[in-house]
Amino acid sequence: MSRLHPFRALRAADAVAASVIAPPYDVMSEAEAIALVKATPNSFVRVSRPESVMPAGADSHAPEAYATARKQLDQMRADGLLIQDPRPSFYLYGQQMGDHKQVCLVAGCSVEEYDEGSIKKHEFTRPDKEKDRVDHIDATDCQSGMVFLAYRDHADLDALIGQCLEAPPLWTVTTEDGVIHQLWRVDSARMVASISAAATEIPALYVADGHHRSAAASIIHRQRAGQPGSHQWFVAGIFPSSSLRILAYNRAVKDLMGHSKDSFLASLKAHFDVVEGGEPVPTGPGHFTMYLDAQWYQLKARNIPADPVAGLDVSILQERVLHPLLGIADPRTDKRVDFIGGIRGWKELVKLVDSGSHAVAFHLHPTSMDQLLDVADAGQVMPPKSTWFEPKLRDAVAMHLLND
């Protein structure tokens, strides 16, 4: 059972949505945030990355930074860039990237369900990143970025969402990356009740992305226990799992850990069928491509484990290649390995190796949504950098005020 909560979203005003909605806080560097705000002064990055409007060298995690975020949020509301809807509603947020289309239901989700495990996780979180989100939410009284959730497709809920999409959107925006974004508000009491009822038939929701946001919401709820407000909910974009697209999350390693090219290839043959040449993109699960010394190779794994985590391609590469052959025991902390999001394509792997900055690169087949859900259902944890979702959910589309 999933309890979804309609809410009065704080959101980009319709007429200025194109200049306000912004990439999520954690996909840009400080320099990129500063440049974005300089080019687009109305961007919500002023709030999500307050160091972008602070003096050079300012500490982005100091109390002054979070106070600046609150000041910028209040100013954007005063200037009419952000508005709050008058009555509780659900929202639909649609995105189109090339031929791929996806639509999520935006709603308040229960912190209690997250804490008890019916909103399922598949990643560990880092305390420093949790604290950053807690401090930001606490200072602004606002959950500005959606948690990215998925559910196993549900015919009744999906049909209701389809009916709502027949109305014209509040706005349509094409962002600098060519992605088309649209927002609908669902404020009919009848439709809100129907969506809420259908959601109760969904046995579980799954965190696809936004583990630190959801963990921070749980911490805030505990800290504010007994206080007024709506801290028992967090805002999420909730997608049917079949509509989502995961791209590959590739790896590039800076050296061969003392191996020659020939000895490295020979070592790979203990666990893989190795063929020189072929296309740079893997053809399916258990298949990898490798770029080494200006040449692509095809690697086909043998004896793939049945375990939902050990059988992942990212696990196979880590346990059979990165750790035993290249000495990368902890990919979270080892500076010799870099992770390259699939949006950058195989040409980025060629560029890294041909430049001499890296010795070898591996192109993986994307993790599937079914694999992600199976790992979460098993109560297990995905290896780091297993999934790269595109397109990314923008901030300031529909935000939750905790003091509402």
Give pLDDT tens digits for 318-347.
999 999 999 999 998 899 999 999 889 999
Query: Do residues 204 and 372 touch, judged by C-beta distance below 8 A?
Result: no
Per-position b or e across 111-131, b if 16+ CB within 10 A of its CB: bebbeeebbbbbbeeeeeebe
Query: Do residues 400 and 235 touch, judged by C-beta distance below 8 A?
Result: yes
The CATH architecture of the domain made up of 249-365 is 2-Layer Sandwich (3.30)
* 190 pLDDT more than 90: yes
* 207 pLDDT more than 90: yes
Query: Do residues 12 and 98 touch, judged by C-beta distance below 8 A?
Result: no
Mutual orientation of helices 63-78 and 127-140 as an angle, nearest 10°? Answer: 40
Query: Which are the contacts of 129, defined by CB distance < 8 A and separation ≥ 6?
Result: 212
pLDDT for the residue numbered 182:
98
Q: Which helix (H) or strand (E) holds 252?
A: strand 249-253
Spatial distance between the Cα atoms of 45 and 52, rounded to a whole number of angstroms: 7
Give pLDDT tens digits for 117-135.
999 998 888 899 999 999 9
Centre a 10 Å sphere on the Cβ of residue 260 and count the other Cβ atoms it contains. 9
Tokens of 369: 């949504």
| Distance from chain centroid for Cα 48 | 16
| Domain boundaries along the sequence of the chain | 4-245+390-401, 249-365
Spatial distance between the Cα atoms of 395 and 228, rounded to a whole number of angstroms: 25
Give pLDDT tens digits for 244-271.
999 999 999 999 999 999 999 999 999 9
pLDDT for the residue numbered 124:
85
Nearest to 173 by CA among 163, 181, 184, 161: 181
- Residue 353: burial class (beta carbons within 10 Å; 0-12, 13-18, 19+): buried
Location of structure tokens 């009740």: 193
